[in-house]
Amino acid sequence: MRWQKGEYYDKRAAKQLRVEDVERAERWLEKLTETPPPGDLKLKPMEGHNRVLCEARAGGQNRFILRLTRDGVGPLFIVEDVGPHDIYKKHRP
């Protein structure tokens, strides 16, 4: 699977984490490139988002919010957000 960071991720989300949490999250993002993604990512669709938004582990207590889209090459995850479990509140349907 392919992925890229979204605008909010770079400008705000990752800057709110400690340096070691950002580094850990970067390592977990690399796991998204494996086919299929490993089970320890716990990648799954978020309820109420019609399989457009997904959640995944980002290491430690942090989670990713991913938007599944397509481009000219195929499926692509846009990494929208990263942070503690509270980030789910910002992405309620």
pLDDT greater than 80 at residue 93: no
Q: Are 16 and 81 in contact (CB under 8 A)?
A: no
Answering whether pTM is above 0.85, one says: yes
Least confident of 28-32, 65-69, 77-81, 84-88: 84-88
> If DSSP codes are grouped into helix, strand and coil, which group holds residue 89?
helix
- Tally of domains within the chain: 1
CATH number at residue 11: 3.30.2310.20
- Return the pLDDT at 1: 84
pLDDT confidence bin for 10, thresholds 50/70/90: confident
Sheet holding 2-5, edge to edge: 2-5, 75-84, 62-70, 53-57, 44-45
> If DSSP codes are grouped into helix, strand and coil, which group holds residue 70?
strand
pLDDT tens string 19-71:
999 999 999 999 988 888 899 999 999 988 888 999 999 998 999 999 999 99
Beta strands in 1-93 (DSSP E): 2-5, 44-45, 53-57, 62-70, 75-84
Distance between CA atoms of 15 and 75, rounded to whole angstroms?
Answer: 27
The residue segments making up the domain with residue 23 are 2-90
